[in-house]
Structure 1
Amino acid sequence: MQCILEKVHGPFSNFIRAQTTSSIFLLVATITALWWANSAYSAFYLELINTPIGFIVGDLEIRATFKHIINDGLMVIFFFSLV
């Protein structure tokens, strides 16, 4: 079992570290979002991206929509992964 993981780890690690990987994921996500937002399922898409999520710990309440998390959180991770 260890031998199989070692054979897979190298190519997978190189794929993830490649600069084109981030671009491919961003392109696929963009095309999917554009299709979804302009299809018959657009109402569900708008409902999903505007769904509030968060957590409460004592008096601290953190709440944001999926759209906010994607715009401010995941895009930061994406751009820092290019460095």
Structure 2
Amino acid sequence: MTAPILILSIVLIVLSVILTLSVLLHKGRGGGMSDLFGGGMSTSFGGASAAERRLDKLTVVLSLLWVAVVVALLVLYRWFP
């Protein structure tokens, strides 16, 4: 295993944990699994707050980084088996 593959693998693990936590921090939109954990009991008046929008953007950025790291690992494994 080469150093770039090892580094990207560690980055992928860290990104996966952070991405999972950011998804779990989102407020439930009603129905589904979020109601099971009490997410359906709260209602939001006036749309999403600034914190919710910031969390949405963070989640999108983290997911794009995650996909980029996965693609980079695939390329590295292709050239350095």
Q: Name the TM-score, length of structure 2 as normaliser.
A: 0.34
| TM-score where L is the length of structure 1 | 0.33
Which has the larger strand fraction?
1
